Each structure stands twice: as structure tokens, then as C-alpha cells.
Amino acid sequence: MFVDESGFHTSMTRLRARAPRGERAYGKVPRNRGKNTTLIASITLEGGMGEAMTVEGATDAPVFEAYIEHFLAPTLAEGQVVVLDGLGAHRTKKVRELVEARGAELLFLPSYSPDLNPIEESL
């Protein structure tokens, strides 16, 4: 089970659009109103999306712990592996306790390395 978060803002929008040839594309977007929204979700190796939660604002330790406690932990089965990146909010004692209490294993990804990133160009 891979878990990560992604933040976005409603004013984030495309700067270009498609329209029939010879016609202008029109559209409206909100302008910098409100806070960022963060989506925390899990995905399995088979590609199935697991539990998800959105919050207004950024992810911090209490928010991430709440996600684990109320959404992810109840769905974990004994023997599952939960993979997280190195964000400080992921590395709390409570997160480890909640995951391991369900019989699952907690695994952290190593620090970023271009050698381990499939997007980086190979020599």
C-alpha cells in the first residue's frame, strides 16, 4: 500500500484551451481565493485506489495521523506493507504504532536519488 499526499489550489488551471478552428476558447477560473486543498490517498500494487481524505491547508503530523487512524488503519490486513516517503509528518511514533497495531509493516522510501528515479534520463 503506497500512501502520499498532493496539494492543489482552485486557481490552478490551464492557460490554454481547445476550440473549433477560427473560434476563440472562453473560460472562467477563480482567482486566488481560499486555501490550498490537500488530498491524502493510498494505492495498491494492483493499481486499486484505497482510502482517501481531503483537508483544507497543508499536511502536518496531526492531519496525517488522523488519516492513518480513521481511514487507512481500519482497512489494513496483517502482513500488508505500507510505503511512505520521508516527509516529517509521516515519521511520527503514532503513525508507526497505528500501522503496526494492525499487523502491517511500515516502510520508508530512501531519500531522492536520480539513480532510483525512472523518469531521469539514463546514460
* Confidence tier at 22 by pLDDT (50, 70, 90): very high
Q: Which domain holds residue 42?
A: 2-11+27-110
The pLDDT tens digits for 32-73 are 667 889 999 999 888 889 889 999 988 999 999 999 999 999
Instruction: Give domain status of residue 117, yes or no.
Output: no
Instruction: Give domain status of residue 72, yes or no.
Output: yes
Burial class (CB in 10 A: 0-12, 13-18, 19+), 119: exposed
What CATH number should be reported for the domain holding residue 92? 3.30.420.10
Tell me the whole-structure pTM to 2 decimals.
Answer: 0.76
* Residue 75 contacts residue 99 (beta carbons within 8 Å): no
Number of other CB atoms surrounding residue 92 within 10 Å: 15
Instruction: Give domain status of residue 33, yes or no.
Output: yes
Instruction: Give domain status of residue 50, yes or no.
Output: yes
* Confidence tier at 28 by pLDDT (50, 70, 90): confident
Instruction: Give domain status of residue 118, yes or no.
Output: no
The pLDDT tens digits for 39-49 are 999 998 888 89
For the chain, the first-to-last Cα distance in angstroms comes to 31
Instruction: Give domain status of residue 60, yes or no.
Output: yes
The pLDDT tens digits for 75-123 are 999 999 999 988 899 999 999 999 999 999 999 988 876 666 666 665 5
Instruction: Give domain status of residue 44, yes or no.
Output: yes
Instruction: Give domain status of residue 21, yes or no.
Output: no
Burial class (CB in 10 A: 0-12, 13-18, 19+), 14: exposed
